[in-house]
Amino acid sequence: MRFEAIGGGSVTPEVAVTAADGRASVGTWTLGSDVGVDTLVARAGALPPVYFTARVSAPFRALAVVTGNESTCAIALGGEVYCLGANPRGQVNGADRAGFFILPQRVPLPAKAVSISGGYNHTCVITDEVPSQAYCWGDNSTGQLGDAVTRSGFGGPQKVPVVEGFVSVTAGMDHSCGLNTAGVAYCWGNGIFGQLGTGDITGCYVSDIGMPDGCRGPRPVVGSARFATLAAGVSHTCGVTLTGQLSCWGLNDGGQLGFATDTPCSQADYYYGGTSPVACALTPQTVLGTPVFSAVGAGDGTCALAVAGTVSCFRPPRVVALIPPVVSFARITPDGECGVGSDDNAYCWTGHFDAQSASFSDPRSLGYGLVVTAITSGHSHRCAILKSDASVVCWGGNDSGPLGIGTTLARDLPAPVLAPPRP
């Protein structure tokens, strides 16, 4: 039996002896480095040749990547945005009601994206228009897209209606916030725990036919504070002011705001029925006694990155922790539970599917031999951008295809995301 590689790559050995049952096995078929289709041909005497083909795909290279609940979105090197994974609310492809996508789908935006934020089932970006604008898509059941026109994102990205535009945006569980050029914060979506920072408790519900109830769209956060960055969490929001102070508002049932608050909010008691009071803050309040911060991440809790490279966390159940300085940290994930060290390795200090033994007192390197510039929050999967060539790798659960590897098989180890199909 003779083997031949066509289109690229090589095969060894090129000749194999046929066994008594008529079978012959190739040793190694190495695919070529060029994008395209490689072919392996097997020939035996006068019999018709047998062809095997494999597609060589380019890696997906990106400027930024975020993960949501079973979905992934990224900004490609050219500024285009692509998403993949679960699509029940149009968070991947608003023009197609397919349940999920295993390959990147381009998001139709009027301009290039310069930053991106992933919420639970919605995503927001900032474009390079003048002035720069915020667009959001995906689930809109609580008005988190900023425009309470439709419950889902199947209409495509929605422009957040603030005239002066935004320079940054953050997507939480079911609310979103953004900053204008002056550092004024705006929030929109669900505000039942004060996470909008408007000084009141405001719910928002959008029906399946687009009938909003209680939705007021983007409104300025009260107070005189001006922010450099914001992070929207599950039910609270935090920001770093222009002077490096940490300020938070919203739900405070586990001390995630970093200070004690009264209980003007209420939450449903799903076991006994009715409601019960719960601690929250309806307006921004400064977290005292902390270092000068440069970034903040919010999920169930809050962690902030100091200018000096240390990380301070406030997380249920009322844990205040300074992450041991195993390294100086350079970046922090949007949920504040992992970060990238000055050594370009990824570390986590909260237990996840890929860091089960991690803790505040014992942050763990994710390992895998990765040298990265960015890492995403961990849901059932996680992604990172490699420092070597800006390619995106993902690992973890993959039932809806958020890993971008062309299948729905889970991966325990980082796998390269396939480049979007050419138009």
Each residue's pLDDT tens digit, 382-415? 999 999 999 999 999 999 999 999 899 999 999 9
The mean per-residue pLDDT over the stretch 239-264 comes to 95
Percentage, residues of the chain above pLDDT 70: 94
- Contact between 258 and 248 (Cβ < 8 Å): yes
Q: Which of 27-31, 178-182, 287-291, 320-324 has the highest mean pLDDT?
A: 178-182
Residue 252 has pLDDT above 80, yes or no: yes
Question: Within a domain: residue 263?
Answer: no
- Which string of b and e fits 209-237 if b means at least 16 CB within 10 Å? eeebeebebbbebbbebebbbbbbbbbbb
- Whole-number pLDDT of residue 212: 78
pTM exceeds 0.85 for this model: yes
**pLDDT recorded at residue 32:** 67
Average pLDDT over residues 119-127: 97
pLDDT confidence bin for 35, thresholds 50/70/90: low
Task: Quote the pLDDT of residue 154.
Answer: 76
Q: Is residue 152's pLDDT more than 70?
A: no
At 211, the pLDDT band (50, 70, 90 cuts) reads confident
pLDDT at 94 (0 to 100)? 87
Under 8 Å between Cβ of 419 and 59: yes
- Residue 36: what pLDDT? 61
| Residue 234 pLDDT > 70 | yes
Domain that holds residue 48: 2-56
Q: What is the Cα–Cα distance from 117 to 130, expressed in whole angstroms?
A: 20
Q: Count up the domains in the chain and report the number.
A: 1
What span, in angstroms and rounded, lies between the C-alpha atoms of 322 and 337? Answer: 12
Q: Which long-range contacts (CB under 8 A, 24 or more apart) does 397-402 make?
A: 397/70, 397/353, 399/70, 400/70, 400/71, 400/85, 400/86, 400/87, 400/99, 400/100, 401/84, 401/85, 401/86, 401/100, 401/101, 401/102, 401/103, 402/67, 402/70, 402/71, 402/72, 402/84, 402/85, 402/86
The answer to whether position 14 is within a domain reads yes
pLDDT of 55 over the 70 cut? no
pLDDT in tens, 299-325: 999 999 999 999 999 977 666 778 887
* 45 has pLDDT over 90: no
Query: Is 384 contained in some domain?
Result: no
pLDDT higher than threshold 80 for residue 33: no
Q: Is residue 276 part of a domain?
A: no
Q: What is the pLDDT of residues 277-301, one digit of tens each?
A: 999 999 999 999 889 999 999 999 9
Total count of residues recorded for the chain:
423
Please give the Cα distance from 169 to 162 (Å, whole number). Answer: 12
- In terms of Cα–Cα distance, which of 408, 413, 389 is closest to 62? 389
Kindly state the helix (H) or strand (E) to which residue 137 belongs, with its residue range. Answer: strand 134-138
- 11 assigned to some structural domain: yes
| Residue 49 or 384, more confident | 384
The backbone torsions φ and ψ at residue 58, rounded to the nearest 5 degrees and listed phi first, read -80, 150
pLDDT computed for residue 184 by the predictor: 98
Q: How confident is the model at residue 207 (pLDDT cuts 50, 70, 90)?
A: confident
pLDDT range class, residue 34, cuts 50, 70, 90: low
Q: Is residue 194 part of a domain?
A: no
* 360 domain residue, yes or no: no
What pLDDT score does 86 carry?
Answer: 96
Residue 28 lies in a domain: yes
Q: Check whether 74 has a pLDDT greater than 70.
A: yes
State the Rg of the chain over Cα: 24
